[in-house]
Amino acid sequence: MLSKGQIEDEITKAMIQWEKDYMGRGPTEARTDIIRNMIIVTLKGILSQAEKTLAESKEGMTLIKKLRAQLVEQRRSELDEIIYRITSAKVITLHTDVSTKMGERIFVFITDKDLC
């Protein structure tokens, strides 16, 4: 049985690897926090240089957010599997957003059971 801190660490490592494998590059910093049945993953430094340039305009910011949301939806089952493999909890809902200003992405997974 893994401790809460070990579970958070395993999720962080898995999410970094997912970003590297799927998005082509990983974050510069990552953290996972578990609160009851919520898993909050924060990834910093996720924007490529091209995306940083694109984010200088309002239209570019909107485009990045839409594209990143679509990419997550296409691979949603992989994210659900990561959480299940590490926690044995099923993901009920997933919320995510990208801050184009700060170059951060946040994932909030809501699971079917408390994890701590």
Any domain includes 116? no
Per the structure, the complete domain to which residue 11 belongs is given by 4-111
52 assigned to some structural domain: yes
Q: Is residue 87 in a domain?
A: yes
Within-domain flag for 18: yes
Domain presence at residue 27: yes
Domain membership of residue 106 (yes or no) is yes
DSSP structural state of residue 23 = I
Q: Over the chain, what is the mean pLDDT?
A: 96
CA-based torsion, 80, 82, 88, 89: positive or negative: negative
Number of separate domains in the chain: 1
Half-sphere exposure of 36 (CA within 13 A, CB side): 2
pLDDT digit string, tens, across residues 16-31: 999 999 988 899 999 9
Structure confidence at residue 101 as a pLDDT band (50, 70, 90): very high
Asked if the structure places residue 12 within a domain, the reply is: yes
Take residue 43 and report the two structure tokens written for it: 């990834």
Q: pTM to 2 decimals?
A: 0.94
pLDDT in tens, 45-91: 999 999 999 999 999 999 999 999 999 999 999 999 999 999 999 99
In a domain, 43, yes or no: yes
